[in-house]
Structure 1
Amino acid sequence: MKDGSTNENIWGYDIEDFKMPLDTLSHVKPQDITKGEVILNMKLRAKIEHWNTFNDPFVELAYNVMIKGVGEKTYHFGFHIDKHIGNTNTKEPHPIYHLQYNFNPTKSNNPNLGDLFYIDTPRIMHKPVDFILGIGFLTSNFYPIAFESLKDEREFVKLQQSYQTAIWKPYFHTLANNWKPFTEGDIVWNPINDICPIFI
């Protein structure tokens, strides 16, 4: 928990500076960038009793990714997927789980933003991820060839399916419940992988 206390009903973990070399540098700008790195930091806390149920399991989720590009100098870009906790009485929409870009992931006091205009919105609604699903997310986006190979690995597929069931199933069922009654026979928007390519 944030205050350092322990709670036998909560499980979780922290990941610090998990690094992967960036293989895909297509459409990169500035064009002097020759290599890159994906750096993941995350914190997750979940209620044990809500795992594998239709409840939201997460008490806290902060999935922070920094992309570092190296050329004539070092460039940074970032985004996070997190759970908004606290007051949502603001002018901007605050989806409880959202993706948000971060153009100053190093927290520099004077970042070189060039012609970039930075603003704190939008917060784009996004499904929650843990480390397992997050690795699938990063791999599919930044290492697509490796991701296709991983989909042939039985253990990877079983792990992804297990966590998709535990985390995404309650999330999507809750969204679908807005249009109840939910009738399985009404589903005609297929294949599901066109909507979410990292479903396995």
Structure 2
Amino acid sequence: MAKNYKHIIQGQASRLDKAVNYLRNALGDAPWIRFLSDAADDIRTRSNGVEWTVEVTDMDLPITGVPMHLKPRSLANKLKMFVSVKMTCNAQLWDKNEDCITDLCFKVSIQENDNQDPDNVYQTGFHIDKTTENELLKHDEMHPLYHLHFLNESIIGGKETLSMDIPRLAHHPVDLFLGLMVVFANYDKNTFDTLKDDPNFAGLCKESADHFIEPYIRSLCKLPWGDSAKTKYDKDLCPYLVL
């Protein structure tokens, strides 16, 4: 009889529910927290027997203060930040504590209108994603299996924006919790410190790290310094460490 993984999948929805409560206790009823509730509901209604998907679109997060060296100077210092996440995972691999992510895109877009030309929108941003096998075969450029990518064409717009479609840097996988900590660490230090010191939310992050980051690090440690046999998966994680 095939093993039933429903308890693992429903557990992912419960983790999001816990996060909503922990975040509200720590930060108050911030409007963006409701996106996590919606994601939990989606898991309960849309997941199949072995996979679940976390999907969040344009979650509006605060930016505290004005980042240094903000250009062009005609911007009005009213930055808006939007986070979108789509992550699909395999419950069987989660249960084995192996890399369970089958699809990942964690995208951050920061936007502002030009103060002198309000119709002109400037954007910057990045995404953390997992490259599929088909994409690895399709592109000549180096694609670490998991990578952080700045200023790519799908994010950047604006007539005065100058960008280059490199580099792609290897990055550990993130889920919604770990990804939010990356965002807050860079854009809202007060919230980052609050959540880092909150034992409930930090506990969710640790559980995520055990299942998402630890398998990644185990494979990454084989390159280039490990003596153990290296699989194609190990090498795809970070091609520029394959020596």
Query: 2-side partners of 1:121 and 1:40: how far apart?
Result: 21
Aligned residues: 174
Q: Which is richer in strand?
A: 1
Distance (whole Å) between structure 1 residues aligned to residue 204 and residue 160 of structure 2: 39
The letter of the residue matching 2:130 is K
The 1:133/1:9 distance shift into structure 2, 3 A limit, reads: same
Match of residue 56 from structure 2: 15
Q: In 2, are the aligned partners of 1:76 and 1:104 still within 8 Å (CA)?
A: no
Question: Which residues in structure 2 correspond to 1:43-192 (within 5 Å)?
Answer: 43-51=86-94, 53-72=96-115, 73=118, 74-85=121-132, 86-89=134-137, 90-102=139-151, 104-105=153-154, 111-114=158-161, 116=162, 118-178=163-223, 179-180=225-226
Give, as a single letter, the amino acid of the residue that structure 1 aligns with 2:206.
Q
Distance 1:93 1:65 in 2: 22
Q: What stretches of structure 2 of length at least 5 have no aligned partner?
A: 1-45, 229-243
Superposed CA deviations along residues 13-47 of structure 1, whole A, max 9, x for unmatched, are 21011111211323122234322121011111010
Normalised TM-score (structure 1): 0.77
Q: Deviations over 1:90-119 (max 9, x none)?
A: 4321101111123555676xx4134x1x33
8 Å CA contact 1:35–1:71 kept in 2: the answer is no
Letter in 2 for 1:96: L
Task: Name the structure where helix makes up a greater proportion of residues.
Answer: 2
Aligned CA-pair RMSD: 2.3
Alignment CA distance shift 1:152-1:87 (3 Å):
closer
Contact residue 126 and residue 155 of structure 2 kept, 8 A: no
**Percent identity of equivalent pairs:** 27
Where 2:89 maps in the other structure, the secondary structure is strand
Match of 1:131, as an amino acid?
L
8 A Cα contact 1:97 1:127, kept in partner: yes
| Structure 1: gaps of 5 or more residues | 183-200
